[in-house]
């Protein structure tokens, strides 16, 4: 299950579970669309994989304890 990390690893922009501008790689590294398209050229700086839009988890499932989002912030500003 996707962690749905709460922020962009590059600029620390908040990316709530319903964010439509969140981008991820296959390892779930998370970036905002602005960083992904401009600075990162659609490639993850951690694994060099491609970045794609992160799916939105339905709000009804977010409310259930078994499907929470991650609270872990990751920022690597020199990406």
Domains, the chain: 1-60 (3.30.40)
| Contact in structure between 11 and 77 (CB atoms under 8 Å) | yes
Structure confidence by residue, pLDDT tens digits, 15-48: 998 999 999 999 999 999 999 999 999 999 999 9
Buried b (16+ CB within 10 A) or exposed e, 43-62: ebbeeeeebeebeebeeeee
Is the distance from CB of 5 to CB of 12 less than 8 angstroms?
no
Determine if the pTM surpasses 0.75.
yes
Q: pLDDT tens across 42-79, in order?
A: 999 999 999 999 999 887 777 765 666 776 778 876 65
3-class DSSP assignment, residue 33: helix
Identify the pLDDT of residue 67.
Answer: 63
């Amino acid at each position: 299950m996707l962690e749905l990390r709460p922020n962009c690893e590059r600029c620390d922009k908040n990316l709530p579970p319903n964010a439509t501008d969140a981008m991820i790689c296959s390892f779930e590294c998370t970036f905002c669309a602005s960083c992904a398209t401009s600075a990162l050229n659609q490639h993850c700086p951690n694994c060099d994989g491609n970045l794609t839009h992160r799916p939105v988890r339905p709000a009804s499932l977010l409310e259930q304890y078994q499907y929470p989002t991650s609270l872990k912030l990751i920022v690597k500003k020199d990406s």
